[in-house]
Protein backbone atom coordinates (compact mmCIF):
# COMPACT_ATOMS: atom_id res chain seq x y z
CA UNK A 1 0.00 0.00 0.00
CA UNK A 2 1.48 3.33 -1.00
CA UNK A 3 2.00 6.05 1.54
CA UNK A 4 -0.85 8.11 0.04
CA UNK A 5 -3.23 5.18 0.31
CA UNK A 6 -2.06 4.53 3.89
CA UNK A 7 -2.68 8.15 4.82
CA UNK A 8 -6.08 8.18 3.17
CA UNK A 9 -7.09 4.91 4.81
CA UNK A 10 -5.89 5.80 8.30
CA UNK A 11 -7.60 9.19 8.07
CA UNK A 12 -10.84 7.55 7.02
CA UNK A 13 -10.49 4.95 9.78
CA UNK A 14 -9.84 7.59 12.43
CA UNK A 15 -12.92 9.62 11.55
CA UNK A 16 -15.08 6.55 11.11
CA UNK A 17 -13.88 5.22 14.43
CA UNK A 18 -14.51 8.56 16.13
CA UNK A 19 -17.96 8.70 14.57
CA UNK A 20 -18.84 5.16 15.53
CA UNK A 21 -17.29 5.41 18.99
CA UNK A 22 -19.29 8.53 19.78
CA UNK A 23 -22.51 6.98 18.52
CA UNK A 24 -21.99 3.66 20.26
CA UNK A 25 -20.89 5.27 23.53
CA UNK A 26 -24.09 7.31 23.55
CA UNK A 27 -26.12 4.28 22.57
CA UNK A 28 -24.57 2.24 25.36
CA UNK A 29 -25.14 4.97 27.97
CA UNK A 30 -28.76 5.46 26.92
CA UNK A 31 -29.35 1.69 26.86
CA UNK A 32 -28.18 1.46 30.47
CA UNK A 33 -30.19 4.46 31.69
CA UNK A 34 -33.40 3.55 29.88
CA UNK A 35 -33.16 -0.15 30.76
CA UNK A 36 -33.02 0.70 34.46
CA UNK A 37 -36.33 2.53 34.06
CA UNK A 38 -38.17 0.19 31.68
CA UNK A 39 -38.73 -3.58 31.82
CA UNK A 40 -37.98 -6.63 29.62
CA UNK A 41 -41.55 -6.82 28.29
CA UNK A 42 -41.26 -3.25 26.93
CA UNK A 43 -38.21 -4.21 24.90
CA UNK A 44 -39.87 -7.40 23.71
CA UNK A 45 -42.83 -5.50 22.25
CA UNK A 46 -40.71 -3.17 20.11
CA UNK A 47 -38.35 -6.02 19.20
CA UNK A 48 -41.29 -7.84 17.60
CA UNK A 49 -41.34 -5.09 14.96
CA UNK A 50 -37.57 -5.07 14.40
CA UNK A 51 -37.52 -7.51 11.50
CA UNK A 52 -40.18 -5.56 9.59
CA UNK A 53 -38.36 -2.25 10.08
CA UNK A 54 -35.04 -3.77 9.01
CA UNK A 55 -36.50 -5.36 5.88
CA UNK A 56 -38.34 -2.14 5.04
CA UNK A 57 -35.17 -0.04 5.29
CA UNK A 58 -33.29 -2.54 3.14
CA UNK A 59 -35.91 -2.54 0.38
CA UNK A 60 -36.06 1.25 0.40
CA UNK A 61 -32.28 1.53 -0.05
CA UNK A 62 -32.14 -1.51 -2.39
CA UNK A 63 -28.34 -1.59 -2.43
CA UNK A 64 -28.18 1.60 -4.52
CA UNK A 65 -25.88 3.34 -2.04
CA UNK A 66 -23.15 0.74 -2.59
CA UNK A 67 -23.83 0.79 -6.34
CA UNK A 68 -23.39 4.58 -6.49
CA UNK A 69 -20.10 4.36 -4.58
CA UNK A 70 -18.85 1.53 -6.79
CA UNK A 71 -19.81 3.35 -10.04
CA UNK A 72 -16.85 5.50 -11.05
CA UNK A 73 -18.74 8.05 -13.19
CA UNK A 74 -21.91 8.48 -11.12
CA UNK A 75 -23.42 11.94 -11.67
CA UNK A 76 -26.42 13.97 -10.52
CA UNK A 77 -28.75 12.08 -12.83
CA UNK A 78 -27.91 8.86 -11.01
CA UNK A 79 -28.28 10.48 -7.60
CA UNK A 80 -31.62 12.13 -8.43
CA UNK A 81 -33.01 8.94 -9.93
CA UNK A 82 -32.12 6.93 -6.84
CA UNK A 83 -33.42 9.66 -4.50
CA UNK A 84 -36.91 9.66 -6.04
CA UNK A 85 -36.97 5.87 -6.11
CA UNK A 86 -35.97 5.67 -2.42
CA UNK A 87 -38.61 8.20 -1.38
CA UNK A 88 -41.44 6.60 -3.36
CA UNK A 89 -40.50 3.13 -2.17
CA UNK A 90 -40.38 4.24 1.49
CA UNK A 91 -43.94 5.61 1.34
CA UNK A 92 -45.15 2.43 -0.36
CA UNK A 93 -43.46 0.18 2.20
CA UNK A 94 -44.90 2.23 5.08
CA UNK A 95 -48.39 1.87 3.65
CA UNK A 96 -47.95 -1.88 3.10
CA UNK A 97 -46.62 -2.45 6.62
CA UNK A 98 -49.50 -0.53 8.16
CA UNK A 99 -51.95 -2.57 6.08
CA UNK A 100 -50.22 -5.73 7.35
CA UNK A 101 -50.21 -4.65 10.99
CA UNK A 102 -53.35 -6.72 11.84
CA UNK A 103 -51.47 -9.82 10.65
CA UNK A 104 -48.48 -8.88 12.85
CA UNK A 105 -50.83 -8.47 15.82
CA UNK A 106 -52.45 -11.85 15.09
CA UNK A 107 -49.06 -13.59 14.89
CA UNK A 108 -47.74 -12.21 18.20
CA UNK A 109 -51.11 -11.81 19.97
CA UNK A 110 -50.18 -8.29 21.11
CA UNK A 111 -52.91 -5.70 20.27
CA UNK A 112 -50.66 -2.74 21.18
CA UNK A 113 -48.42 -3.51 18.20
CA UNK A 114 -50.82 -1.76 15.79
CA UNK A 115 -50.31 1.60 17.48
CA UNK A 116 -46.60 1.01 18.04
CA UNK A 117 -46.10 0.11 14.38
CA UNK A 118 -47.61 3.41 13.23
CA UNK A 119 -44.81 5.22 15.09
CA UNK A 120 -41.87 2.84 14.61
CA UNK A 121 -42.36 2.57 10.83
CA UNK A 122 -42.22 6.37 10.44
CA UNK A 123 -38.44 6.00 10.44
CA UNK A 124 -38.66 4.45 6.94
CA UNK A 125 -39.62 7.58 4.93
CA UNK A 126 -37.39 9.73 7.14
CA UNK A 127 -34.39 7.51 6.38
CA UNK A 128 -35.19 7.68 2.66
CA UNK A 129 -34.88 11.47 2.62
CA UNK A 130 -31.18 11.37 3.56
CA UNK A 131 -29.78 8.31 1.79
CA UNK A 132 -28.21 10.24 -1.09
CA UNK A 133 -26.57 12.89 1.08
CA UNK A 134 -25.15 10.12 3.25
CA UNK A 135 -23.92 8.19 0.20
CA UNK A 136 -22.25 11.27 -1.30
CA UNK A 137 -20.30 12.00 1.87
CA UNK A 138 -19.15 8.36 1.98
CA UNK A 139 -18.18 8.38 -1.70
CA UNK A 140 -16.22 11.60 -1.23
CA UNK A 141 -14.58 10.16 1.93
CA UNK A 142 -15.84 13.14 3.95
CA UNK A 143 -16.12 11.20 7.18
CA UNK A 144 -15.44 14.20 9.37
CA UNK A 145 -18.73 15.79 8.28
CA UNK A 146 -20.55 12.48 8.71
CA UNK A 147 -19.17 12.15 12.23
CA UNK A 148 -20.57 15.55 13.22
CA UNK A 149 -24.00 14.74 11.81
CA UNK A 150 -24.15 11.31 13.41
CA UNK A 151 -23.03 12.48 16.83
CA UNK A 152 -25.37 15.46 16.97
CA UNK A 153 -28.38 13.46 15.82
CA UNK A 154 -27.57 10.67 18.27
CA UNK A 155 -27.25 13.21 21.08
CA UNK A 156 -30.67 14.67 20.27
CA UNK A 157 -32.31 11.26 20.04
CA UNK A 158 -30.66 10.09 23.27
CA UNK A 159 -31.83 13.17 25.16
CA UNK A 160 -35.38 12.59 23.95
CA UNK A 161 -35.27 8.92 24.96
CA UNK A 162 -34.01 9.61 28.48
CA UNK A 163 -36.58 12.38 28.92
CA UNK A 164 -39.45 10.15 27.76
CA UNK A 165 -38.35 7.23 29.92
CA UNK A 166 -38.02 9.43 32.99
CA UNK A 167 -41.41 10.97 32.19
CA UNK A 168 -43.13 7.61 32.36
CA UNK A 169 -43.69 7.03 28.64
CA UNK A 170 -42.77 3.36 28.97
CA UNK A 171 -42.62 1.38 25.73
CA UNK A 172 -43.30 4.53 23.67
CA UNK A 173 -39.79 5.66 24.57
CA UNK A 174 -38.40 2.79 22.50
CA UNK A 175 -40.89 3.38 19.68
CA UNK A 176 -40.00 7.06 19.21
CA UNK A 177 -36.24 6.71 19.64
CA UNK A 178 -35.42 5.60 16.03
CA UNK A 179 -37.88 8.18 14.67
CA UNK A 180 -36.24 11.12 16.44
CA UNK A 181 -32.83 9.83 15.35
CA UNK A 182 -33.84 9.62 11.68
CA UNK A 183 -35.58 13.01 11.73
CA UNK A 184 -32.65 14.87 13.30
CA UNK A 185 -30.05 13.20 11.09
CA UNK A 186 -32.02 13.99 7.94
CA UNK A 187 -32.46 17.61 8.97
CA UNK A 188 -28.73 18.03 9.62
CA UNK A 189 -27.71 16.39 6.34
CA UNK A 190 -30.06 18.61 4.34
CA UNK A 191 -28.80 21.68 6.21
CA UNK A 192 -25.08 20.93 5.69
CA UNK A 193 -25.18 19.26 2.28
CA UNK A 194 -25.15 21.25 -0.98
CA UNK A 195 -26.76 18.44 -2.95
CA UNK A 196 -30.42 18.78 -3.93
CA UNK A 197 -32.42 16.38 -6.12
CA UNK A 198 -33.22 17.45 -9.66
CA UNK A 199 -36.56 16.89 -11.39
CA UNK A 200 -35.09 13.91 -13.18
CA UNK A 201 -35.77 10.18 -13.17
CA UNK A 202 -34.48 7.50 -15.53
CA UNK A 203 -35.54 3.87 -15.54
CA UNK A 204 -32.51 3.13 -17.71
CA UNK A 205 -30.08 4.42 -15.05
CA UNK A 206 -32.03 2.63 -12.35
CA UNK A 207 -31.75 -0.66 -14.25
CA UNK A 208 -28.00 -0.14 -14.73
CA UNK A 209 -27.46 0.41 -11.02
CA UNK A 210 -29.81 -2.42 -10.12
CA UNK A 211 -27.60 -4.81 -12.07
CA UNK A 212 -25.03 -4.39 -9.29
CA UNK A 213 -27.36 -3.70 -6.37
CA UNK A 214 -29.89 -6.50 -6.97
CA UNK A 215 -27.62 -9.19 -5.59
CA UNK A 216 -26.75 -6.97 -2.63
CA UNK A 217 -30.46 -6.41 -1.98
CA UNK A 218 -31.27 -10.11 -2.10
CA UNK A 219 -28.26 -10.92 0.09
CA UNK A 220 -29.20 -8.14 2.47
CA UNK A 221 -32.75 -9.46 2.79
CA UNK A 222 -31.48 -12.92 3.71
CA UNK A 223 -28.95 -11.45 6.14
CA UNK A 224 -31.62 -9.25 7.74
CA UNK A 225 -33.92 -12.20 8.26
CA UNK A 226 -30.99 -14.12 9.77
CA UNK A 227 -30.05 -11.32 12.19
CA UNK A 228 -33.67 -10.71 13.22
CA UNK A 229 -35.01 -14.26 13.18
CA UNK A 230 -34.97 -14.19 16.97
CA UNK A 231 -37.81 -11.65 17.05
CA UNK A 232 -40.01 -14.09 15.12
CA UNK A 233 -38.96 -17.33 16.78
CA UNK A 234 -38.37 -16.56 20.47
CA UNK A 235 -41.85 -15.11 21.32
CA UNK A 236 -43.53 -18.16 19.73
CA UNK A 237 -41.44 -20.75 21.58
CA UNK A 238 -40.59 -19.10 24.90
CA UNK A 239 -42.02 -16.50 27.31
CA UNK A 240 -42.04 -12.95 25.92
CA UNK A 241 -39.51 -11.72 28.47
CA UNK A 242 -36.85 -13.98 26.91
CA UNK A 243 -36.98 -11.82 23.78
CA UNK A 244 -36.57 -8.81 26.07
CA UNK A 245 -33.44 -10.34 27.59
CA UNK A 246 -32.05 -11.16 24.16
CA UNK A 247 -32.82 -7.65 22.91
CA UNK A 248 -31.06 -6.04 25.86
CA UNK A 249 -28.05 -8.32 25.45
CA UNK A 250 -27.93 -7.31 21.79
CA UNK A 251 -28.21 -3.62 22.64
CA UNK A 252 -25.07 -3.92 24.76
CA UNK A 253 -23.18 -6.14 22.30
CA UNK A 254 -24.17 -4.30 19.12
CA UNK A 255 -22.25 -1.07 19.89
CA UNK A 256 -19.01 -3.08 20.07
CA UNK A 257 -19.72 -4.95 16.83
CA UNK A 258 -20.88 -1.84 14.97
CA UNK A 259 -17.92 0.18 16.22
CA UNK A 260 -15.44 -2.24 14.67
CA UNK A 261 -16.88 -3.40 11.39
CA UNK A 262 -18.82 -0.20 10.70
CA UNK A 263 -15.68 1.90 11.00
CA UNK A 264 -13.55 -0.41 8.87
CA UNK A 265 -16.21 -1.25 6.29
CA UNK A 266 -17.33 2.32 5.68
CA UNK A 267 -13.78 3.62 5.47
CA UNK A 268 -12.30 0.94 3.23
CA UNK A 269 -15.08 0.32 0.71
CA UNK A 270 -14.87 3.66 -1.15
CA UNK A 271 -11.05 3.62 -0.96
CA UNK A 272 -10.72 0.05 -2.20
CA UNK A 273 -13.26 0.77 -4.94
CA UNK A 274 -10.86 3.44 -6.19
CA UNK A 275 -8.04 0.87 -6.69
CA UNK A 276 -10.22 -2.04 -7.82
CA UNK A 277 -8.22 -2.42 -11.08
CA UNK A 278 -4.85 -2.82 -9.30
CA UNK A 279 -5.01 -6.46 -8.22
CA UNK A 280 -1.77 -6.89 -6.28
CA UNK A 281 -2.15 -3.59 -4.49
CA UNK A 282 -5.74 -4.49 -3.62
CA UNK A 283 -4.82 -7.91 -2.18
CA UNK A 284 -2.12 -6.30 -0.04
CA UNK A 285 -4.70 -3.78 1.21
CA UNK A 286 -7.18 -6.60 1.93
CA UNK A 287 -4.68 -8.49 4.03
CA UNK A 288 -3.77 -5.45 6.08
CA UNK A 289 -7.47 -4.70 6.61
CA UNK A 290 -8.30 -8.19 7.81
CA UNK A 291 -5.30 -8.25 10.15
CA UNK A 292 -6.30 -4.88 11.56
CA UNK A 293 -9.88 -6.14 11.94
CA UNK A 294 -8.72 -9.24 13.82
CA UNK A 295 -6.34 -7.11 15.90
CA UNK A 296 -9.34 -5.09 17.17
CA UNK A 297 -12.15 -7.64 17.07
CA UNK A 298 -10.86 -10.60 19.04
CA UNK A 299 -9.60 -8.75 22.13
CA UNK A 300 -12.68 -6.52 22.35
CA UNK A 301 -15.18 -9.38 22.01
CA UNK A 302 -13.23 -11.83 24.20
CA UNK A 303 -12.75 -9.10 26.77
CA UNK A 304 -16.45 -8.28 26.74
CA UNK A 305 -17.31 -11.93 27.43
CA UNK A 306 -14.93 -12.02 30.40
CA UNK A 307 -16.13 -8.77 32.03
CA UNK A 308 -19.85 -9.45 31.45
CA UNK A 309 -20.70 -10.60 35.02
CA UNK A 310 -19.14 -7.52 36.62
CA UNK A 311 -20.55 -5.21 33.94
CA UNK A 312 -24.16 -6.37 34.28
CA UNK A 313 -24.19 -6.47 38.05
CA UNK A 314 -22.67 -3.00 38.23
CA UNK A 315 -24.83 -1.23 35.62
CA UNK A 316 -28.22 -2.97 35.58
CA UNK A 317 -30.95 -3.68 38.06
CA UNK A 318 -31.43 -7.34 38.96
CA UNK A 319 -34.35 -7.75 36.54
CA UNK A 320 -31.82 -7.57 33.69
CA UNK A 321 -29.12 -9.95 34.96
CA UNK A 322 -30.71 -12.81 33.01
CA UNK A 323 -29.67 -10.97 29.81
CA UNK A 324 -25.96 -11.56 30.56
CA UNK A 325 -25.60 -15.03 28.91
CA UNK A 326 -27.36 -13.69 25.81
CA UNK A 327 -24.80 -10.90 25.69
CA UNK A 328 -21.91 -13.36 25.99
CA UNK A 329 -23.26 -15.59 23.21
CA UNK A 330 -23.79 -12.57 20.96
CA UNK A 331 -20.22 -11.43 21.58
CA UNK A 332 -18.97 -14.84 20.47
CA UNK A 333 -21.03 -14.60 17.30
CA UNK A 334 -20.01 -10.98 16.83
CA UNK A 335 -16.42 -12.00 16.05
CA UNK A 336 -17.56 -13.93 12.99
CA UNK A 337 -20.20 -11.37 12.02
CA UNK A 338 -17.49 -8.70 11.79
CA UNK A 339 -15.05 -10.82 9.79
CA UNK A 340 -17.79 -11.99 7.41
CA UNK A 341 -18.87 -8.39 6.82
CA UNK A 342 -15.31 -7.39 5.93
CA UNK A 343 -15.03 -10.33 3.52
CA UNK A 344 -18.31 -9.28 1.91
CA UNK A 345 -16.78 -5.83 1.52
CA UNK A 346 -13.92 -7.34 -0.47
CA UNK A 347 -16.36 -9.24 -2.69
CA UNK A 348 -18.39 -6.08 -3.33
CA UNK A 349 -15.27 -4.20 -4.40
CA UNK A 350 -14.53 -6.96 -6.91
CA UNK A 351 -17.94 -6.30 -8.49
CA UNK A 352 -19.11 -9.87 -7.79
CA UNK A 353 -22.09 -8.99 -5.62
CA UNK A 354 -23.73 -12.28 -6.66
CA UNK A 355 -21.17 -14.02 -4.43
CA UNK A 356 -22.62 -12.31 -1.38
CA UNK A 357 -26.07 -13.62 -2.33
CA UNK A 358 -24.69 -17.16 -2.51
CA UNK A 359 -23.20 -16.78 0.96
CA UNK A 360 -26.55 -15.59 2.29
CA UNK A 361 -28.34 -18.59 0.77
CA UNK A 362 -25.99 -20.88 2.71
CA UNK A 363 -26.69 -18.78 5.79
CA UNK A 364 -30.47 -19.16 5.61
CA UNK A 365 -30.18 -22.92 5.01
CA UNK A 366 -27.91 -23.32 8.04
CA UNK A 367 -30.25 -21.15 10.12
CA UNK A 368 -33.26 -23.31 9.24
CA UNK A 369 -31.26 -26.41 10.18
CA UNK A 370 -30.26 -24.88 13.53
CA UNK A 371 -33.87 -23.98 14.37
CA UNK A 372 -35.04 -27.50 13.46
CA UNK A 373 -32.32 -29.03 15.67
CA UNK A 374 -32.69 -26.83 18.74
CA UNK A 375 -36.27 -25.54 18.92
CA UNK A 376 -37.22 -28.14 21.55
CA UNK A 377 -34.27 -27.12 23.74
CA UNK A 378 -33.96 -24.20 26.15
CA UNK A 379 -33.78 -20.63 24.87
CA UNK A 380 -30.02 -20.32 25.43
CA UNK A 381 -29.39 -23.55 23.54
CA UNK A 382 -31.49 -22.24 20.67
CA UNK A 383 -29.62 -18.91 20.59
CA UNK A 384 -26.30 -20.76 20.88
CA UNK A 385 -27.20 -22.89 17.89
CA UNK A 386 -28.06 -19.82 15.83
CA UNK A 387 -24.83 -18.14 16.91
CA UNK A 388 -22.81 -21.17 15.79
CA UNK A 389 -24.19 -20.64 12.27
CA UNK A 390 -22.14 -17.44 12.10
CA UNK A 391 -18.89 -19.44 12.36
CA UNK A 392 -19.85 -21.68 9.45
CA UNK A 393 -20.93 -18.68 7.40
CA UNK A 394 -17.56 -17.02 8.02
CA UNK A 395 -15.76 -20.11 6.73
CA UNK A 396 -17.94 -20.05 3.61
CA UNK A 397 -17.25 -16.34 3.14
CA UNK A 398 -13.51 -17.03 3.21
CA UNK A 399 -13.93 -19.56 0.41
CA UNK A 400 -15.88 -17.11 -1.74
CA UNK A 401 -13.41 -14.32 -1.00
CA UNK A 402 -10.64 -16.57 -2.30
CA UNK A 403 -12.64 -17.37 -5.43
CA UNK A 404 -13.52 -13.78 -6.33
CA UNK A 405 -10.53 -11.80 -5.09
CA UNK A 406 -7.60 -14.21 -4.92
CA UNK A 407 -7.18 -13.71 -1.15
CA UNK A 408 -6.49 -17.33 -0.18
CA UNK A 409 -8.39 -18.95 2.69
CA UNK A 410 -5.18 -20.27 4.22
CA UNK A 411 -3.66 -16.79 4.10
CA UNK A 412 -6.66 -15.32 5.87
CA UNK A 413 -6.49 -17.94 8.61
CA UNK A 414 -2.78 -17.18 8.98
CA UNK A 415 -3.62 -13.48 9.25
CA UNK A 416 -6.25 -13.81 12.01
CA UNK A 417 -5.32 -16.83 14.18
CA UNK A 418 -2.41 -15.20 16.05
CA UNK A 419 -4.74 -12.46 17.30
CA UNK A 420 -7.34 -15.03 18.35
CA UNK A 421 -4.73 -16.98 20.32
CA UNK A 422 -3.49 -13.89 22.15
CA UNK A 423 -7.08 -12.79 22.85
CA UNK A 424 -8.02 -16.15 24.38
CA UNK A 425 -4.98 -15.96 26.65
CA UNK A 426 -5.99 -12.40 27.58
CA UNK A 427 -9.57 -13.56 28.31
CA UNK A 428 -8.27 -16.19 30.71
CA UNK A 429 -6.18 -13.57 32.48
CA UNK A 430 -9.17 -11.21 32.75
CA UNK A 431 -11.40 -13.96 34.10
CA UNK A 432 -8.80 -14.95 36.72
CA UNK A 433 -9.08 -11.48 38.28
CA UNK A 434 -12.62 -12.36 39.40
CA UNK A 435 -11.13 -15.05 41.66
CA UNK A 436 -9.43 -12.46 43.86
CA UNK A 437 -11.60 -9.30 43.55
CA UNK A 438 -15.25 -9.26 44.67
CA UNK A 439 -16.41 -5.62 44.50
CA UNK A 440 -18.12 -5.08 41.13
CA UNK A 441 -16.67 -1.67 40.27
CA UNK A 442 -13.16 -2.53 41.42
CA UNK A 443 -13.40 -5.88 39.60
CA UNK A 444 -14.43 -4.24 36.32
CA UNK A 445 -11.62 -1.67 36.53
CA UNK A 446 -9.01 -4.32 37.35
CA UNK A 447 -10.26 -6.57 34.55
CA UNK A 448 -10.09 -3.77 31.98
CA UNK A 449 -6.57 -2.79 33.03
CA UNK A 450 -5.44 -6.43 33.04
CA UNK A 451 -6.94 -7.11 29.62
CA UNK A 452 -5.39 -4.10 27.89
CA UNK A 453 -2.01 -4.62 29.56
CA UNK A 454 -1.77 -8.32 28.72
CA UNK A 455 -2.93 -7.93 25.10
CA UNK A 456 -0.79 -4.97 24.12
CA UNK A 457 2.25 -6.27 26.02
CA UNK A 458 2.12 -9.60 24.15
CA UNK A 459 1.51 -7.80 20.84
CA UNK A 460 4.45 -5.49 21.48
CA UNK A 461 6.85 -8.21 22.63
CA UNK A 462 5.92 -10.44 19.69
CA UNK A 463 6.70 -7.61 17.27
CA UNK A 464 3.16 -7.12 15.94
CA UNK A 465 3.46 -5.28 12.65
CA UNK A 466 -0.12 -4.02 12.85
CA UNK A 467 0.50 -2.51 16.29
CA UNK A 468 3.70 -0.85 15.13
CA UNK A 469 2.17 0.56 11.94
CA UNK A 470 -0.93 1.77 13.78
CA UNK A 471 1.18 3.66 16.31
CA UNK A 472 3.36 5.17 13.57
CA UNK A 473 0.41 6.25 11.43
CA UNK A 474 -1.50 7.68 14.38
CA UNK A 475 1.56 9.71 15.40
CA UNK A 476 1.95 10.97 11.85
CA UNK A 477 -1.74 11.84 11.61
CA UNK A 478 -1.58 13.67 14.94
Residue 398 is predicted with a pLDDT of: 92
Cα 449 from Cα 453, distance rounded (Å): 6
Nearest to 270 by CA among 133, 136, 145: 136
pLDDT, one tens digit for every residue, the chain (478 residues):
444 555 555 555 555 566 667 677 777 888 889 989 998 889 899 989 988 998 898 888 777 777 777 677 778 888 888 889 889 999 999 999 999 999 999 999 999 999 999 999 999 999 999 888 888 877 776 667 777 888 899 889 999 999 999 999 999 999 999 999 999 999 999 988 888 988 888 888 878 877 766 767 777 787 787 778 888 888 888 888 898 898 888 888 887 787 776 666 666 656 666 666 666 777 887 888 888 889 988 999 999 999 999 999 998 888 889 999 999 999 999 999 889 888 888 887 777 767 777 888 888 889 889 888 888 888 899 889 989 999 999 999 999 888 888 888 999 999 999 999 999 999 999 999 999 988 889 999 999 999 999 999 998 888 877 777 766 655 655 4
Q: How many domains does the chain have?
A: 1
Q: How many Cβ atoms are within 10 Å of 4's Cβ, its own excluded?
A: 8
What is the C-alpha to C-alpha distance for residues 134 and 216, in angstroms, rounded to an integer? 18
SS (H, E, C) 359-409: HHHHHHHHHHHHHHHHCCCCHHHHHHHHHHHHHHHHHHHHHHHHHHHCCCH
Give pTM, 2 decimals.
0.76
What's residue 18's pLDDT?
A: 62
Q: What pLDDT, on a 0 to 100 scale, did the predictor assign at position 3?
A: 47
Positive or negative, the CA dihedral 10, 16, 20, 21 is positive
Residue 296 CA, chain-centre distance (Å), reads 15
Q: Which domain holds residue 471?
A: 3-477
Q: Is the dihedral of CA 225, 229, 235, 240 positive or negative?
A: negative
User: Whole-angstrom Cα distance, residue 441 to residue 321?
Assistant: 16
**pLDDT of res. 119:** 96
pLDDT of residue 1: 44
Mention every residue, 6+ apart, whose C-beta is less than 8 A from residue 228: 50, 51, 54
Amino acid sequence: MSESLKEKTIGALIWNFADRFGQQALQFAVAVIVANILFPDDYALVAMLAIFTAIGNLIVESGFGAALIQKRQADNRDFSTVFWFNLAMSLLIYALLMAASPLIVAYFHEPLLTRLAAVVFLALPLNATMLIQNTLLNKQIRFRQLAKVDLLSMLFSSTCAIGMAAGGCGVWTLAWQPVTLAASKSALLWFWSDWRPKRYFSFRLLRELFGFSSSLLAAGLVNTVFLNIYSLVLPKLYPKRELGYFTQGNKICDPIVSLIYGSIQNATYPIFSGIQDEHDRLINAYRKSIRFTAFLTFPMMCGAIAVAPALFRLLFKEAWWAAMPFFQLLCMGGCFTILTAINNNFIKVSGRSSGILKIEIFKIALTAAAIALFFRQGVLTMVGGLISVRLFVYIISMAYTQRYTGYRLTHQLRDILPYLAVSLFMMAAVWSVSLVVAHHLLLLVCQLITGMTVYFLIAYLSGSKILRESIELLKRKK
